[in-house]
Amino acid sequence: MFTPPLESIPADLVSLSDYARYAKQHLPTPIYEYIAGGGADEISLKRNRDAFDRLLLQPKVLRNMSQGQTQSTLLGSPLRYPALLAPVAFQQLAHPEGELATARAANALDTGMVVSTLSSTSMEQLAETLEGPKWFQLYFQQDRDFTLNLVRRAEQAGYSHLMVTVDAPLHGIRNRAQRAGFQLPEHVRAVNLDDRPPLPRKVLEPDQSIVFQGMMSEAPSWSDINWLQQETRLPIILKGIMHPDDALQAKQMGIAGVVVSNHGGRTLDCVPAAFEVLPEIRQAVGTDYPLLLDGGIERGTDIFKSLALGANAVMIGRPQIYALAVAGALGVAHMLRVLREEFEVTMALAGTPTLADISAQCLWQPK
C-alpha cells in the first residue's frame, strides 16, 4: 500500500532529497523504481549526483548585495531564475492530475515548463494552463508526417520553442525497472500520440539485428534535424548532447541552443555526468551560445556550480515527479520555492549579487 498525496507540507520536508525520500511512501514500488532508476548498473546515474558533490565553492565576502537579482532571459524567454522544469513523460504515474498539477505549480513560482511528447495530458490543455514560458519537447516519430503534425500542433497551441531529444532513439537497458516488474498502467498513456499511425511491421532476415536493422532503422539523423529546421519557425534546441563535436555541429547548423544531458542516466550507462562534460562543450561553442544543463540538480548550489562552469540555465527532472507524488501541485510549487531560495542564498553567501558575477573564479581549485 502507498499513501495518498499530502494536503500540507510536513515540517521535516525541507529539501529536494527529502521529496525523494517521501516519494517512496506515495508511489507503488514498480512506479517508484521506474522513476528513480537509471540505465543498466546506474553508473551514470550516480555520477550525475557525485559530480556536483566533488566540486566546491570559494566564496568572497563583504560584497554589496543590495542590487542582487536572479532574473535572466534565455532564448527570448524571461526566467525568474535560471531553471526550467524538464520534460518528464507520463506524469499521471505520480499523481491523478499529472502534468496539469505541475503546470499550476510552474505558474505559481514563475517557472518555465518543457512539455513532453509523452505527456499524459494533451499539449493543448497544458498550453492553455501555462502562463509563463512554455516549450515543447519532441521525440521524432517513425512517420515523419506525424512528427510534423506534432510540430504544427505545438505551433498552433502557442509553444515558443521546440526541444528535440536526440539521445534516446530507443530505450536504454533499465534493469531496476525490469526487476520491479514495471508496466505502464492502462489508465496512463501518451495522449499526444493517440492518432499516431500504426507502426510498420518489419520482417528481419536471420542475419539482421533487431537493434540496428529493426529499432534503429528509422532513427533520426542530422539530415532530419535539417529537415525540421526548414519546416518550423520555432527555435530548435537539441537535448542530449554530450560531445563537443555534436554541440559545435548544432551551432554551425543554426540550432538555437543545446541541452547538455545524459538523459538522467536512463539511456546509455557508463557515460560521464553531463556536469562533467559541460566545460569542454562550453569551450567548443564559445561564450555566447546558449547551453542548458540537465541531470542531477538537487540543490541551489548545483545551479550555481552549473552556471559557474558555463551553463545559461538548468533543468529540473526527477525532483518535480517526486514532489508531484508527495503533494501534487503544492509539492511541486514548494519544491521550486525551496530550490530558488537555496540558489539566492548561495549567490548571497558566495558574494555574487548577479548571474553575471558567477564564474569559474567562484570555484575552489585545489592546489
Q: 154-187 burial, b if ≥16 CB within 10 A, otherwise e?
A: beebebbbbbbbbbebeebebbbbeebebeeeee
Residue 121 CA, chain-centre distance (Å), reads 17
Report how far apart, in Å, the C-alpha atoms of 149 and of each of 48, 83, 168, 228, 365 are.
Answer: 35, 29, 20, 12, 50
Which residues does the annotation mark as catalytic? Answer: 263
Contact 70, 355 (CB under 8 A): yes
Instruction: Report whether 307 contacts 355 (CB < 8 A).
Output: yes
Residue 49 in contact with residue 275, Cβ under 8 Å?
no
Instruction: Kindly give, in sequence order, each residue whose CB lies less than 8 Å from that of residue 119, ignoring residues fewer than 6 positions away.
Output: 87, 89, 90, 91, 98, 99, 126, 190, 191, 192
Residue 91, classed as helix, strand or coil, is helix
Using the structure block, give the residue that is written with the C-alpha cell 494533451.
122
Q: Which residues contact 300 (CB under 8 A, 6 or more apart)?
A: 339, 340, 341, 342, 343, 344, 345, 346
Distance of alpha carbon 47 from alpha carbon 265, whole angstroms: 8
Query: Cα separations (Å) of 288 from 135, 291, 303, 339, 361?
Result: 21, 9, 19, 26, 18
Show the DSSP H helices in the chain as ranges: 16-26, 29-36, 43-54, 99-108, 123-129, 144-157, 175-179, 222-231, 244-253, 274-285, 300-308, 318-350
Query: Which single residue is written with the C-alpha cell 549526483?
Result: 49
Cell readout for 222 is 542530422
Judged by DSSP in three states, 290 sits in coil
Residue written as grid cell 553567501:
349
Query: What is d(CA 305, CA 3) in angstroms, rounded to the nearest whole number?
Result: 35
